[in-house]
Structure 1
Amino acid sequence: MQVTETKSEGLKREFQVVLAAAELEDRLTTELAGMKDKVQLKGFRPGKVPVAHLRRVYGRSIMADVVQNAVNEANQKILEENKLKLALEPQIKMPEDKAEIEKALDAKADLAFQVALEVMPTFELQDHSDITVTKPVATVSDEEVETALKRMAEQSRSYADRPEGSAAETGDRVVIDFVGRIGGETFEGGSAEDADLDLGSNTFIPGFEDQLLGAKAGEARTVTVTFPEGYPAEHLAGKEAVFDVTVKAVKAPGEAQIDDELAKTFGLENLDALKDAVRKSLANELDAQSRRRVKKALLDALDARYAFDLPPTLVHQEFAAVWAQVEADLKSRGKTFEDEGTTEEKAQGEYRRIAERRVRLGLVLAQVGETADIKVPDEEVNQALIARLRQFPGQEREVYDFYRKNPQAMAELRAPLFEEKVVDHVLGQVKLVEEPVSKEALFADDEDEAAEAAAPASEAGASKGVTSEGVTSEGSAPSHETGAA
């Protein structure tokens, strides 16, 4: 086997591999000889099948295996001799001339093919001890706890039938049957029976609830509304619908009580226990947001420190994932780039920079993780899998089987866990300064950061499994949070 490098540009490499006809013949003969004592053919005693006959029967299929093994050996040889680490699987290009391939498969001519690679960039990890990251810290106020309790009480309040003949008012609950039609035809999801609707809750299509004000139990009404342009169901967006509605009951809300009984409806012993649980829940939300802000600041600092060539195909794949979601978001909202104050060309430039940032940070964190020998225990991956199963009630077995049979899917579960461990490791190297802030200040930058991030691309970075070893390993590339965090 002769291997010759034919191209070296940036992170792209190309090699030509030549397998001489004599080598192909030797490999084929060796394989056939190994089959002789194993194969059983009618008319021949075990171990007595002539190699020439085996060649006529199995030659082409065995030669296909010979060529595939040779390709694998060539790839391994290229990596070892040139000390390369792959960013993506090698691309193999066989000769286009079918006659040439036919001769090679018959071991009557040399087989020459091309191997194209994209390799991982090499860079030195820097000392991060001089990085300062500010950690915003907010505390839960008594007023926030009371507001949460009021909301819970309102959601848990009871409703009682109004006196016969009473007209429905804002805040009342009506029990209704309805059938919706567009162009005179019913549509999927447009009908229901015994549906509870709280007037003023704005949970139905805009205008629907207003047309039921003043309705009485037993009354039938026709409600005409227009679905919003950005309605999630595209076949309904912007269309006028007519609903035949029957009001079966009108119920008045009871008083929202914040007491021990409210706590018991949530499985807690008394009001004090409920208050403690609410405060803890609110504190967890603040801590999670603080973590996001710290992580964003850390990734910004790392992004500013590292500059190196990026594997073009990885950037392209990351950009494609981000851009697909951007376009889907615009379509769902019925918006254009002009509506957003930009052009498609400018937007593509911005999101390509975000894709480059994600890939760059993915590679940096992957190398940090490898250098620090950071691992994700199988137990943590299993916990993540269980959490995912809970998102699909009634389909747990199917989802479990899907993940267990798909290593790439399991890698996507492992990737964000790995990323968080690496981030914690780097945070342990930098100077972390706490800064007390209000809740409003803590969440103030959310919208700007979401715009910068272009919305998560289904854990695009993680799905690539980028590591210093190539594709999919313990050190999976960071998830979408490397783009925005």
Structure 2
Amino acid sequence: MQVTETQNEGLKRAYKMILTAQELDDKVMDKLKEAQPEVELKGFRKGKVPLALLKKQFGQRIMGEAMQEAVDGAMSAHFEEKGERPAAEPSVKMTNEDWKEGDDVEIEMSYEALPDIPEVDLKKIKAERLVVKADDAAVDEALSSLAENAQDFKARKKGSKSKDGDQVVIDFVGKVDGEPFEGGAAEDYPLVLGSNSFIPGFEEQLVGVKVDEEKDVSVTFPEEYQAEHLAGKEAVFECKVKEVKEPVAAEINDELATKYGAESLDALKDQIKERLEAEYAGAARAVLKRHLLDEMDKLVSFELPPSMVEAEAKQIAHQLWHEENPDVQGHDHPEIEPTDEHNKLAERRVRLGLLLAELGQKAEVEVSDAEMTQAVMEQARQYPGQERQFFEFVQNNPQMRQQLRAPIFEDKVIDYVAELAQVTEKEVGKDDLEKAVEALDDA
């Protein structure tokens, strides 16, 4: 196949490729010869059908396949010879649309080449890894939070009125048209006011009641209520208040620890300390990663594929627009034009993405099957009851697999960079770490 370069500007490439009619015919005949031993036609023994008859019978069907193979082969040979990699799938189109059998096939191929990535001396990079220890104050704060979440209720002073958030213990009987209905009565029922566990409007009417008070609560069942015979009906619940209790945090003791699966309070404190320090380490890693990326960005400069920058800028603009307009769930909105700020951020992301890909390739960084399985499992947890379908979706969707693989690969390359860079540890307090994390969002 004849290949002629028609454009070579920056990273943009274009070529005219001509597959002569003779070359195409030769390829078709080669494929027919390959298939001939297995072909049977009426009047001929297997493998004895003349090539001329095979061409007449199957030539048109095979021609498209032969043409595609010729183009694919020419493209592979081209990239191998040039040592180039396309930034995206090359655009390939047939230019002589009035082509007929016997004519040469004229093809135009265009693409943007990936740039040559300059060498980076990672040992020159300097960065700090923040280290935060979980002190007693942080552990006590977390314990207090757990105690509040495991709240108990204690009786209010005699004669006190109930408040939103209190627990009232009641006997009640519900009636529709003056008649009790099935499932509408209970004794010693503990109801937390404001929990929205009863029919809308029920709990609000019990705010301000006292022990031994009797109160009729009037409500209307929702139209979509699960019991059809009650849906949309007005009802009156005759309630007797037996206790009014206020919420109190659970006591911080061994009993609280057992509620959270620990053998003792000391064991719970140890678990909290480990969890806090794991959270601190995760936040510190995010800070270190940003610093390493910032330093690498200063060390490299190379031409970027315009289409990659444009696509990234549009994605950034689109994502930020949705963050600013959370009420718009779909994509039925005006086209969002990237700003100079979006374009600048896109250039940084594309540049660092290409650099990390190059570093990972040279360092032979691999994402293992176990790591991919773990990533899929974590994502599948977001779809309770549909985990199997999610696994199958990922299995049959290469793009989704790549989306899951990319952040794992990036983190492993960052770890590789951190090993070679001059990374020193600096012990700081929790407040300093929080400020460093907040600075990431502001940058």
Q: By the TM > 0.5 criterion, same fold?
A: yes
Instruction: Flag the structure with larger Rg.
Output: 2
Give the distance between the partners of 2:363 and 2:236, measured in 1 at CA.
66
1:219 paired residue among 213, 217, 220: 217
User: What code does the residue aligned with 1:18 have?
Assistant: I
Contact 1:374 1:418 in 2 (8 A): yes
Structure 2 residue identity aligned to 1:351: H
2:371 counterpart of 1:368: no
Give the superposition deviation at 1:162: 8.3
Q: How does 1:80-479 map to 2 (within 5 A)?
A: 80-95=80-95, 97=97, 99-100=98-99, 103=100, 106=101, 108-159=102-153, 167-172=161-166, 199=194, 213-214=207-208, 219-220=217-218, 252-332=246-326, 348-452=339-443
Post-superposition offset of 1:451: 4.9
Code of the residue aligned with 2:391 in structure 1: it is Y
Distance 2:314 2:35 in 1: 48
Name structure 1 gaps, 5 residues minimum: 176-193, 203-207, 223-243, 335-343, 453-485
Aligned equivalents of 2:311 and 2:167: distance in 1? 50
- Counterpart-to-counterpart distance in 2, 1:246 and 1:308: 76
> Take 1:298 and 1:44, find their aligned partners in 2: how far apart are those partners?
72
Equivalent in the alignment of 1:178 = none
Q: How many residues align?
A: 394
**Is the 8 Å Cα contact of residues 75 and 90 (structure 1) preserved in structure 2?**
no
- d(CA) in 1 for partners of 2:216, 2:48: 92
- How many angstroms does 1:141 deviate by? 2.2
Query: Contact conserved, 1:168 with 1:214, CA < 8 A, in 2?
Result: yes
What secondary structure is seen at the aligned counterpart in 1 of 2:351?
Answer: helix
1:391 deviates by 2.8
Secondary structure of the residue aligned to 1:114 is strand
- The normalised TM-score by structure 2 is 0.79
- Residue 358 of structure 1: how far off its partner (Å): 1.0
Distance 1:329 1:212 in 2: 40
Structure 1 residue 151: deviation in Å? 1.2
Alpha-carbon distance, 1:146 to partner = 1.2
Q: Which residue of 1 aligns with 2:24?
A: 24
SS at match of 1:136: strand
Percent identity between the two aligned chains? 38
- Which shows bigger deviation, 116-125 or 7-16? 116-125
Amino acid at match of 1:385: V
Report deviation, 1:34. Answer: 2.1
- Conservation of the 8 A alpha-carbon contact between 2:167 and 2:192: yes
Q: CA RMSD in A?
A: 3.5
Q: 2:175 maps to what in 1?
A: none
> What amino acid is aligned across from residue 90 of structure 2 in structure 1?
P
Shift of 1:153: 1.3
- How far has the Cα of 1:173 moved from its partner? 5.0
CA shift in 2, pair 1:267/1:320, >3 Å:
same
Letter in 2 for 1:144: A
Amino acid at match of 1:314: M
How far apart are residue 290 of structure 1 and its match? Answer: 0.7
**TM-score normalised over the length of structure 1:** 0.73
| Residues 86 and 113 in structure 2, CA contact (< 8 A), matched pair in contact too | yes
Output the CA distance in 2 between the equivalents of 1:36 and 1:377: 45
